[in-house]
Amino acid sequence: MEETDRHPDTDASVSGSAPGLDAHPAFEESLTDELAALIDDGRTYLEAEAAFQKTRAKLAGKSVGIVVVCAILALILLNIAFLALAVGLVIALEPLVNIWWAIAIVVGALFLIVGALGWIAFRRVSLLSAIFASSDDTKHADSEA
């Protein structure tokens, strides 16, 4: 191949840089400016996102507080309702049997209900502990193998 047949940009492509980039320093400055602007936009986005999440967390915290207060008040009122029911049952049973037997019947029925609920809870906890114990045993057996 003769010297006159060569393309003028062949040397630039052989050296590893794109043809004509060395001749345009404004292109490199523009690229760095764009990258700096992109980084600045990213920082602005992260700051805005952090502020949004903080506001969201504050709102969620207030909502959780309201939910907790409402749940506590509901439980207190439920307790008062059950007390009123128990007193009403005692008053209703008093003409049929004397007052002491009415109290004994109501308290005994409440103890039976509490015992049944406690037994159900105990069985569920036993079942859950058995489930988790069997999965822990499986993990230990897998790690030993």
Q: Is 89 exposed, middle or buried (0-12, 13-18, 19+ CB in 10 A)?
A: middle
If you average pLDDT over every residue of the chain, what do you get?
Answer: 81
CA distance 15 to 108: 97
CA distance 103 to 119: 24
Cα-Cα-Cα-Cα dihedral of 61, 64, 66, 69, to 10°? -130
Q: Are 103 and 86 in contact (CB under 8 A)?
A: no
Which residue would you say has higher pLDDT here, 32 or 95? 95
pLDDT given for residue 142 in this prediction? 58
Does the pLDDT value for residue 138 go beyond 80? Answer: no
CA distance 111 to 117: 10
Q: Which residues contact 89 (CB under 8 A, 6 or more apart)?
A: 102, 105, 106, 109
Q: What confidence tier does 15 reach under pLDDT thresholds 50, 70, 90?
A: very low
Tokens 């193998």 locate to 145
Q: Are 109 and 85 in contact (CB under 8 A)?
A: no
Give the residue among 13, 119, 55 at the shortest CA–CA distance from 21.
Answer: 13
Does the pLDDT value for residue 17 go beyond 80? Answer: no
Cα-Cα-Cα-Cα dihedral of 33, 34, 37, 42, to 10°? -140
Q: Where are the beta strands (DSSP E) in 27-127?
A: none
